[in-house]
Structure 1
Amino acid sequence: MANVTFNSPLMEKDVTVYAIAGDTHTLLKVAQKNKIPLPFECEDGECGSCVMEVVYLSDKPRLGQALTEKERATLLAAGKLSKHDIHEAEVNDMPPSYRLACQYIVRDEDILVKFSGEPGVTM
């Protein structure tokens, strides 16, 4: 099980939910199931409206999770990821801080998810 804590100015306080690690549902689906007001539009990784910052809360090494092609292109075009960030993600298996909730699969690690509540805008 993974603890996922959502943080946004839209919410009165942080909300922590449990997610089943390795489940194939995206973080966006976890948010929707728990009535977290994370913005989204296309749900396909192309619009960037569900961009979020992921902060890893464990001292354990982070579990790598590959960026999808759409996620890589969308975050690079939006200026949320640099070519260096993409290189680190691909070569050194280091997940970047900015991800798309519609593409991100929760792993067995505790995370803090920060989002502004405005589509495509990070905190």
Structure 2
Amino acid sequence: MANVTFSAPTLEKDVTVYAVAGDNKTLLGVAKQNNIAIPCQCQDGECGSCLIKVTILDDRAPHGIHLTDKEKLTLSVNGKMTKAQLNDTETNDMPPPYRLACQYIVRDENILVEFSGEPGVEIDLRR
């Protein structure tokens, strides 16, 4: 089980839900199941509208997070992942801060998911 906390200006308050790790449900699916409206259009990793910031809340090292080729391309083209972050992801299994909710599979770790509520608009990382 994983605790997933959703935070956005469009929510009255942060919402924490339990997700079954590894059941192949994306974060977008978990959000929909819990009536949390993350903007989405294509739901296939190509448009970038479901952009989220993921922070791992556990004290242990993050699990290796696989990024799909579509997600790598969409994040890179939209300026949400640098070449250094891409390299760190591919060689050290270090997840980048921004992800696409439609591509992110929930792992057995507690996470904070932040989103702006506007399609493809990032949350300020300086928060």
**TM-score above 0.5:** yes
Cα distance between partner residues in 1 of 2:122 and 2:12: 18
- In structure 2, the partner of 1:69 is 69
> Which residue is equivalent to 2:55?
55
1:23 aligns with 2:19: no
Q: Is it true that 1:101 corresponds to 2:101 in the alignment? A: yes
Aligned residue in 2 for 1:78: 78
1:54 counterpart letter in structure 2: V
1:66 is displaced (CA, Å) by: 1.2
Q: Deviations over 1:26-84 (max 9, x none)?
A: 00000000000110000000000001000110101100111100000000011000010
Deviation readout 1:84-123 (Å, 9 max, x if unpaired): 0010000011111100000000000000000000000011
- Paired residue for 2:6? 6
Map residues 38-53 of structure 1 onto 2, 5 A cutoff.
38-53=38-53
Distance in 2 (alpha carbons) for counterparts of 1:67 and 1:24: 14
Deviation beyond 6 Å, 4+ runs, structure 1 = none
Residue 108 of structure 2 is aligned to residue 111 of structure 1: no
Displacement of 1:12: 0.7
Q: CA RMSD in A?
A: 0.5
Q: Partners of 1:56 and 1:65 in 2: how far apart?
A: 11
> Residue 22 of structure 2 aligns to a residue in which SS?
coil
CA–CA separation in structure 2 for the residues paired with 1:52 and 1:122: 7
**Amino acid aligned to 1:50:** C
Q: For 1:24 and 1:91, how far apart are their aligned partners in 2?
A: 23
Structure 2 unmatched ranges of 5 or more: none
Structure 1 unaligned regions, length at least 5? none
1:74 aligned partner, one-letter code: T
Separation in 2, partners of 1:54, 1:6: 10
